[in-house]
Amino acid sequence: EAGVTQSPTHLIKTRGQQVTLRCSPISGHTSVYWYQQALGLGLQFLLWYDEGEERNRGNFPPRFSGRQFPNYSSELNVNALELEDSALYLCASSLDGSYEQYFGPGTRLTVT
């Protein structure tokens, strides 16, 4: 069974630009979560989507947004990139908000 997949693997953007990251959950999982793992800060929860709706949001500004598609895949959009947005962005999926989350390999975003 395929795990959670994310694309792209790496990305380099310039401050002020916009970026879109993509995630495909494990087949059958309806919930998708996004996390930011910045150097020295651990994992910070960004967003949770389930059945196409945003269900919960972490303490991040509105320029972090996303959506979930009917096939349960998800996009994370970050507008007006700042240097401190440089991080590994991890996507996880679970069955309907279950306590067991399974993570993808992440997208490494570098903002210069």
Partner 1 sequence: GEDVEQSLFLSVREGDSSVINCTYTDSSSTYLYWYKQEPGAGLQLLTYIFSNMDMKQDQRLTVLLNKKDKHLSLRIADTQTGDSAIYFCAESWPSGGGSYIPTFGRGTSLIVHP
Residues that bind partner 1 (CB under 8 A): 4, 6, 31, 33, 40-43, 45, 48, 50, 55-56, 58, 90, 92, 94, 97-106
Residues counted in the chain = 112
Q: Cα separation of 86 and 28, whole Å?
A: 31
Backbone φ and ψ for 83, nearest 5 degrees, come out as -55, -35
Take residue 42 and report the two structure tokens written for it: 């651990």
Which residue, 40 or 70, has its beta carbon nearer to partner 1? 40
Rounded to a whole number of angstroms, the minimum distance from the CB of residue 22 to partner 1 is 14
Which C-beta is closer to partner 1: that of 14 or that of 99? 99
Closest distance of CB 51 from partner 1, Å: 11
**Residue among 107, 98, 96, 99 at smallest CA distance from 37:** 107
Nearest to 48, CA basis, from 40, 39, 57: 57
CA distance 88 to 77: 14
At its nearest, how many Å lie between partner 1 and the CB of residue 56? 5
Q: Which is nearer to partner 1, 13 or 95 (CB)?
A: 95
**Least distance to partner 1 from the beta carbon of 104, Å?**
5
Nearer to partner 1, 15 or 55 (CB): 55
